[in-house]
């Protein structure tokens, strides 16, 4: 009977394919029999001497993983005694961690051929992360004999930020509705919440902000605290704490007070009481995330107070508890004459040293807004007395939503590895946020999630890699983009060597390809709207700094935003060594050129082409490269699941169409200023500027 069932299951898998639900935790049977048998000899039992729910999760995950990978049930026992040939979970300092002491949630895997594999962690969570690391060894086909692997997270708070609303929608979400079914909670708890927690724990993510930073005050009501507590109960056994985004005037809107002035004693009391109420329901609550005085959200400045006043009020409310305030630095005023690039630095650097020690200031990787390529935010390095955390965006707001395949690890790495020079050479952004540069007392990183209720979590199956890569880098920013891709492919798609190589190659080139057809040479496009359709012509918007022309500054002379001393002088916010790299249009690396310079159309670039010709070349090469992606992907057909293959194939067709749409829109629009022909070697767009404008208008219709 069992056989028939298994058979049916297999056939149904073949017929319907892989729906992507299991992410990188697939645990499919290892096909290489000798390897499988070798693994099986090393993992005959799981010894768990402890009762905490986190340790139990570790043992259960191992058991489930081994069942799938090896096709056998490995028993969980309480004490290994003198037995060998099993896995021992041990909450203890590892005996030979070498120079690396096992701190925080680090783990060590040790194994000897004739002994046991021991997973050491100083904390229960450390053991859980070690269990996932051991499974990863098996999933990626590595040996578990003579294991000696120590890994320690470089950043303390590793969070996802969900921009999810009470009505089930997700701001900038492209994978369906919110995972959180607020209407059903707390009584109905979707089993999917647990799989969400497992996926995050497998990466070392230890916190999640469940609601949008454009926050609803409802999350501070008893009704919602109860719902959030139900989620926290599911996440706790996976070492994940919940956090909430705060609507700053909540004391007024739901508390009934006359003000939400952070210096008002009644307001402070309201927050202290509210915080106590939250901790009563969620004893391990993580803390608050705040977007204030930004893009219309209210904040302390409405009362003539500073960001520090606002943050410190919440820190005071959190004082009795182990919680923190993450205060966002994403602020800018609607001033057409100002340079939005400079706003966060201008507002926050004067406050350095004024924040409570429970406050961390959360800074987006770039000074503007998650562009396909952006220089690092000049705040990094310039607030030595205030812990700064990194906010990356995993969801593809500016990266083509769920139809474009863009592997983001290179975006994250590019920022982390850039040198700020604030304490001389080697003062990378990574060293700012991991605290080693300024000896921060607290370190954190956040990724704006790309998950939704779509069966495969991320819409585009390839976008799962971005969730994965963010988590792995949050744990250890020194990992390479390529190494992470390699792991992910092997765990998620295939272990067939040539297919792994081909897919990795597509992934590693995908971001540059996107930049080429979308925003080459340092163009940016944070203009208003849904951030999908090209509208470089956009001149009107509710705010002057939400138009396209504000950013690209195209005119009859040239293109780009002059941020040197002759322009906004935003460059002055960086150290001289950084300025030197970017302030001369002759030597500024081409990927950053138009971020800092207004360049004449006819100017010869280092490629030997004029600006105009170079732009056209990049737009065309970018769009053509999507065909290269298609051809490469076609080659891996025999090695990947048919459903996933078909899904990605379809998306690549759309991506190509849309890449041409972007190319044509930019080229035809910019041509009205450059007044230059498209280089003879390139085909002319098959449509007119009016055609592409009409397309974008249609896109905006409901």
* Active-site residue set: 295, 369, 397
Output the smallest distance, CB 448 to ligand GCW, in A.
Answer: 7
Output the smallest distance, CB 163 to ligand GCW, in A.
Answer: 5
Task: Pick between residue 395 and residue 427 the one whose CB is nearest to ligand GCW.
Answer: 395
Task: Pick between residue 313 and residue 449 the one whose CB is nearest to ligand GCW.
Answer: 449
Output the smallest distance, CB 215 to ligand GCW, in A.
Answer: 9
Output the smallest distance, CB 438 to ligand GCW, in A.
Answer: 25
Please tell me what DSSP assigns to residue 528.
S
Residue 76 and residue 445: Cα distance in Å, rounded?
35
Task: Pick between residue 294 and residue 625 the one whose CB is nearest to ligand GCW.
Answer: 294
Q: Tell me the C-alpha to C-alpha distance, in Å, between residue 252 and each of 264, 302, 408, 465.
A: 12, 13, 40, 42
Nearest to 561 by CA among 521, 618, 531: 521
Task: Specify the DSSP element, H or E, that contains 662.
Answer: helix 642-674
Residue 662 and residue 668: Cα distance in Å, rounded?
10
Both tokens assigned to 692: 């592409």
**Helix, strand, or coil (residue 447):** strand
Task: Pick between residue 202 and residue 451 the one whose CB is nearest to ligand GCW.
Answer: 451
Task: Pick between residue 162 and residue 274 the one whose CB is nearest to ligand GCW.
Answer: 162
Task: Pick between residue 170 and residue 242 the one whose CB is nearest to ligand GCW.
Answer: 170
Residue 290 and residue 355: Cα distance in Å, rounded?
14
Task: Pick between residue 295 and residue 322 the one whose CB is nearest to ligand GCW.
Answer: 295
Are 409 and 481 in contact, with CB atoms under 8 Å apart?
yes
Q: Which residue is nearest to ligand GCW (CB)?
A: 369
Residue with tokens 């590895």: 417
Output the smallest distance, CB 362 to ligand GCW, in A.
Answer: 10
Residue 666 and residue 656: Cα distance in Å, rounded?
16
Judged by the rule CB under 6 A, the positions of this chain that interact with ligand GCW are 163, 171-172, 213-214, 291, 295, 330, 369-370
Contacts of 633 (CB under 8 A, 6+ apart): 502, 503, 506, 645, 648, 649, 652
Please tell me what DSSP assigns to residue 637.
G
Please tell me what DSSP assigns to residue 595.
H
Are 622 and 518 in contact, with CB atoms under 8 Å apart?
yes
Are 525 and 551 in contact, with CB atoms under 8 Å apart?
yes
Residue 32 and residue 204: Cα distance in Å, rounded?
29
Contacts of 261 (CB under 8 A, 6+ apart): 267, 300, 303, 305
Residue 405 and residue 166: Cα distance in Å, rounded?
29
Cα of first residue to Cα of last residue in the chain, in angstroms, is: 53
Task: Pick between residue 393 and residue 494 the one whose CB is nearest to ligand GCW.
Answer: 393
Measured in whole angstroms, how far is the alpha carbon of residue 308 from the centre of its chain? 26
Task: Pick between residue 106 and residue 176 the one whose CB is nearest to ligand GCW.
Answer: 176
Residue 155 and residue 477: Cα distance in Å, rounded?
9
Report the b/e string of 36-65 with b at 16+ CB within 10 A: beebbebbbbbbbeeebebbbbbbbbbbbb
Output the smallest distance, CB 350 to ligand GCW, in A.
Answer: 22
**Helix, strand, or coil (residue 691):** helix
Output the smallest distance, CB 284 to ligand GCW, in A.
Answer: 26
Residue with tokens 């230890």: 206
Residue 318 and residue 313: Cα distance in Å, rounded?
9
Output the smallest distance, CB 174 to ligand GCW, in A.
Answer: 12
Output the smallest distance, CB 454 to ligand GCW, in A.
Answer: 20
Residue 484 and residue 492: Cα distance in Å, rounded?
12
Helices marked H in 222-326 — which ranges?
222-235, 250-253, 265-281, 307-318
Task: Pick between residue 293 and residue 492 the one whose CB is nearest to ligand GCW.
Answer: 293
Task: Pick between residue 297 and residue 512 the one whose CB is nearest to ligand GCW.
Answer: 297
Residue 469 and residue 477: Cα distance in Å, rounded?
10
Output the smallest distance, CB 393 to ligand GCW, in A.
Answer: 8
Output the smallest distance, CB 297 to ligand GCW, in A.
Answer: 8
**How open is the CA angle 153-154-157, to the nearest 5 degrees?**
75
């Amino acid at each position: 009977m069992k056989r028939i069932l298994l058979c049916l299951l297999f056939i149904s898998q073949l017929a319907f394919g892989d729906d992507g639900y299991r992410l990188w935790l697939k645990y499919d049977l290892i096909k290489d029999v000798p390897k499988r048998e070798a693994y099986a000899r090393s993992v005959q039992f799981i010894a768990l001497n402890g009762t905490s729910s986190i340790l139990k999760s570790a043992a259960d995950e191992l058991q489930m993983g081994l069942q799938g990978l090896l096709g056998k049930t490995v028993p969980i026992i309480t004490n290994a005694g003198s037995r060998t040939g099993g896995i021992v979970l041990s909450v203890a300092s590892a005996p030979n961690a070498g120079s690396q002491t096992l701190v925080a949630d680090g783990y060590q895997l040790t194994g000897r051929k004739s002994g046991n594999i021991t997973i050491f962690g100083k904390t229960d969570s450390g053991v859980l992360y070690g269990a996932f690391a051991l499974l990863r060894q098996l999933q990626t086909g590595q040996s578990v004999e003579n294991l000696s692997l120590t890994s320690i997270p470089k950043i303390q708070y590793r969070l996802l930020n969900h921009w999810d609303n009470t009505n089930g929608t997700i701001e900038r979400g492209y994978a369906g509705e919110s995972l959180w079914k607020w209407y059903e909670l707390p009584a109905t708890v979707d089993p999917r919440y647990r799989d969400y927690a497992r996926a995050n724990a497998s990466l070392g993510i230890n916190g999640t902000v469940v609601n949008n930073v454009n926050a609803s005050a409802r999350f501070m009501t008893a009704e919602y605290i109860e719902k959030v507590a139900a989620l926290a109960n599911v996440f706790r056994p996976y070492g994940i704490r919940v956090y909430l985004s705060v609507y700053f005037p909540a004391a007024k809107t739901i508390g009934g007070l006359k003000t939400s002035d952070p210096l008002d004693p009644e307001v402070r009391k309201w927050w202290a009481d509210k915080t106590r109420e939250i901790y009563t329901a969620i004893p391990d609550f993580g803390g608050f995330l705040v977007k204030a005085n930004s893009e219309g959200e209210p904040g302390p400045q409405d009362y003539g107070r500073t960001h520090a006043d606002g943050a410190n009020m919440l820190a005071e409310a959190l004082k009795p508890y182990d919680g923190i305030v993450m205060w966002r630095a994403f602020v800018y005023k609607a001033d057409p004459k100002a340079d939005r690039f400079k706003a966060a630095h201008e507002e926050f650097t004067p406050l350095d040293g004024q924040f409570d020690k429970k406050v961390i200031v959360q800074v987006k990787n770039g000074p503007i807004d998650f562009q396909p390529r952006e220089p690092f935010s000049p705040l990094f390095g310039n607030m030595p007395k205030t812990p700064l955390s990194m906010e990356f965006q995993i969801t593809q707001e500016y990266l083509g939503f769920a139809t474009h395949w863009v592997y983001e690890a290179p975006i994250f790495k590019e920022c982390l590895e850039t040198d700020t020079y604030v304490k001389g050479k080697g003062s990378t952004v990574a060293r700012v946020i991991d605290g080693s540069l300024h000896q921060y007392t607290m370190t954190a990183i956040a990724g704006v999630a790309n998950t939704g209720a779509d069966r495969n979590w991320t819409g585009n199956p390839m976008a799962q890699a971005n969730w994965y890569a963010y988590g792995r880098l949050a744990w250890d920013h020194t990992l390479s983009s390529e190494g992470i891709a390699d792991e992910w492919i092997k765990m998620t798609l295939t272990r067939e060597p040539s297919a792994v190589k081909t897919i990795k190659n597509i992934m590693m080139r995908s971001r540059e390809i996107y930049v080429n057809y979308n925003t080459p040479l340092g163009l940016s496009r944070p203009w208003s709207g849904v951030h999908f359709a090209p509208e470089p012509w956009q001149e009107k918007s509710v705010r002057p700094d939400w138009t396209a022309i504000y950013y690209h500054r195209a005119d009859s002379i040239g293109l780009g935003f002059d941020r040197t001393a002759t322009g906004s002088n935003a460059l002055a916010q960086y150290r001289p060594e950084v300025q030197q790299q970017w302030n001369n249009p002759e030597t500024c690396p081409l990927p950053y050129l138009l971020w800092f310079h207004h360049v004449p159309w006819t100017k010869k670039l280092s490629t030997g082409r004029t600006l105009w010709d170079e732009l056209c070349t990049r737009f065309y090469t970018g769009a053509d490269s999507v065909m290269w992606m298609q051809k490469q992907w076609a080659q891996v057909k025999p090695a990947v699941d048919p459903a996933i293959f078909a899904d990605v194939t379809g998306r690549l067709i759309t991506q190509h169409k849309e890449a041409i749409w972007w190319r044509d829109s930019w080229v035809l629009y910019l041509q009205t200023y450059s007044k230059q022909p498209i280089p003879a070697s390139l085909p002319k767009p098959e449509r007119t500027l009016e055609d592409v404008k009409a397309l974008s208008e249609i896109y905006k219709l409901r």
